[in-house]
Chains A and B, each alone.
Chain A
């Protein structure tokens, strides 16, 4: 059948079973938006306030559902507005296909209105980029883009379509996703991977070697990284934890990779890791890290990290092995598959003494009660007590993010949605919108700081328009808390440009967007506000007042030894 490029694009989305798209129209993508009307019963488009909001929403959708997220933008500023969201998805290995249109072929390279070298801009922050200048290659390229985004270590792919391509016509035949490997470019790729190079099975010798290392270990320790979450290997990982009978820490990205209330969980590891996690990793004799890249926020000082341990790295991405920390053994493969093989071969281990030692250190930070403001643990505990267990938590970046991960318990992949790698302030609201759209039956909350919330609070308009009951909790300490904490500890209390002693009034802001809000400074009011928010069935902003000098505890300085806890 003969279709226009724009229609082929929509058909390709249907091939991929995409029913949700976030985006913002503009000059060059008009043909696509024109075609969208024809497909609106099958492809639902969410118009955000800003392309950045669309990029985070597509990302949040992908992380919470495990499906590929899709975002549309126009050329030039539309594409560059996506970039922060693209980089965020890239650093956290989130499968999102970003589709932008560029100026027509006759105008390319002439510094035309709203023209930018989008594929050049996106190259360093995507798994792959494509520019499509031939309508006959459109379907094939889109199929390939989706395959790349979701395969191996997932990640964002950027497609730039020239405007004339979206208007031109070509023959198109609907190919269901299952048959893609037999069509066009994917056929060639399939041949190359299967016949020539691809080794589908995980090396059994590697597995056996790890089993024997486990047998020799008396003080094993596990780290649950983002790879467990992306690979949806939480059940297998939890079984592995129980078989190992070993203390297990999560990284920021690993939240939800195991049962948060598993008695073997030691909490977060690294810069704001619990004492139990950091001391255990320092004293263990075998460290098995699954889907974690030993970033500078986890390993801190790579030389002294787990110096008494044999380090075993399980990861799907071969280039992560020995990148940040030198390892003694590695297994390359999908976390789910590797863990299944390990669980099959592993006998029940017992480490009562080692566990007793590790869990003699606190796994959670306690705070002073009282005063005329709330403390972070009170806010988190009240939320956790009142909200359903499977509530999805999307965070921004800063102190509130660390508090949320320290005090909430996440049980399944996609329950915690946070920008761990790129640390994107302003990520949370867009991500929460995406998560709510993808999970209409679940409660979705957005944990923000007052600094982060100011950045992209414009998306309240999206929350209001689509009637998405996302509850925003602003951890409001009237400052850029995390930066202030560093200024306090490292820069001799020279609080340069971190005070947020200015508007807007978040309650009035919510009202301006047609939503309700409430400011609270004690647990009783907070509980009332949560009750009201849950009952109202629409977006709601709860402004929780915290002390300006509240800190994230414990803390280890960047590059320091992992047990060098600062005096706070």
Chain B
């Protein structure tokens, strides 16, 4: 791939048919065009048969537009929207397991959890497991603090994002109409 000077992290929201092979088709497109998927989250939506994907990728402006165009062209892809921190809300969920030997250390971790509004969901004599939600910066922050203790394991969902206000991924636009023209099969 060409060198990209102004590459930044971008978030894409996709609405796709929930069929076998769709994920591999989308993943293949990223690898074929030379992009690495930085974060990925998938789940069902309000419409049965449709899944929503949130994908983070590092790319510059012209290339991200080309990538979106290629994604929109794929048959199972219903809709692609670029989201940014101004127009959208981002959330990620993290489970983190920390070593807490002794009452002092357990108290310290519980206080930190409190500050970050994390919940304790499991406890053993040697460990505490927390669940934290927030944007990526918040999760990074708590991870950095808990590094002072011993982190045994982290599991993150990847970012999901949704637009502020009335706007949705289903909004009509001229561009969307143009893409679906090619998919008109009748």
Contact = CB atoms under 8 A, between A and B. Distances in A.
Instruction: Judge: A and B partners, yes or no.
Output: yes
Contacts of A48: none
B183 A152 contact: yes
A321 B176 CA distance: 14
Interface of A: 119-120, 123-124, 127-129, 131, 144, 147-148, 151-153, 180-181, 186, 189-190, 192-194, 197-200, 203, 316-319, 321-323, 332-333
B136 interface: no
B179 A144 contact: no
Nearest to B172: A197
A144 B76 CA distance: 13
A178 to B, nearest CB: 10
A311 to B, nearest CB: 16
User: Which has the most chain A C-beta neighbours within 10 Å: B32, B78, B179?
Assistant: B179
Contacts of B28: 123-124
Interface string B42-80: 000000000000000000000001100110110100100
User: Which has the most chain A C-beta neighbours within 10 Å: B70, B172, B186?
Assistant: B186
Q: Which 8 A-B pairs have the closest CB atoms?
A: A199-B177, A152-B182, A319-B69, A147-B185, A332-B178, A151-B185, A318-B178, A197-B180
B172 to A, nearest CB: 8
A317 B73 contact: yes
- State the main secondary structure of chain B at its contact with A: helix
A143 to B, nearest CB: 10
A124 B172 CA distance: 29
Contact of A319 (B25, B73, B177): B73
Interface residues of B, number: 28
B181 A316 contact: yes
Contacts of A316: 181-182
Given A189-B185, A317-B73, A318-B73, A119 B177 contact: no
B5 interface: no
Contacts of A321: 69
B75 A128 contact: yes
User: Which has the most chain A C-beta neighbours within 10 Å: B20, B28, B181?
Assistant: B181
Given A151-B185, A319-B70, 11 more contacts: A124-B28, A127-B75, A131-B20, A151-B182, A181-B186, A186-B186, A199-B180, A200-B184, A318-B178, A318-B182, A332-B181
Nearest to A205: B174
B45 to A, nearest CB: 15
Interface of B: 20-21, 24-25, 28, 32, 65-66, 69-70, 72-73, 75, 78, 172, 174-186
Given A129-B21, A189-B186, A198 B177 contact: yes
A117 to B, nearest CB: 10
Contacts of A333: 181
B179 A318 contact: yes
B185 A123 contact: no
A185 B54 CA distance: 27
Given A318-B73, A319-B69, A319-B72, A120 B182 contact: no
Contacts of B180: 193, 197-199
Contacts of A190: 186
B65 A120 contact: no
A412 to B, nearest CB: 25
User: Which has the most chain A C-beta neighbours within 10 Å: B73, B175, B184?
Assistant: B184
Given A120-B24, A124-B32, A193 B184 contact: yes
B178 A198 contact: no
A124 B25 CA distance: 8
Contact of A186 (B25, B175, B185): B185
A148 B184 CA distance: 8
A193 B78 CA distance: 10
23 contacts: A120-B24, A123-B21, A127-B75, A147-B186, A148-B185, A151-B182, A152-B183, A152-B184, A180-B186, A186-B185, A186-B186, A192-B78, A193-B180, A193-B184, A199-B177, A317-B73, A318-B72, A318-B182, A319-B73, A319-B179, A321-B69, A322-B66, A323-B69
Contacts of A193: 180, 183-186
Given A152-B185, A199-B181, A123 B75 contact: no
Contacts of B186: 147, 151, 180-181, 186, 189-190, 193-194
Contacts of A120: 24
A88 to B, nearest CB: 18
Contacts of A319: 66, 69-70, 72-73, 179, 182
Nearest to A189: B185
Contacts of A124: 28, 32
A194 B186 CA distance: 10
A200 B73 CA distance: 17
A453 B49 CA distance: 49
Nearest to B19: A130
Contacts of A128: 75
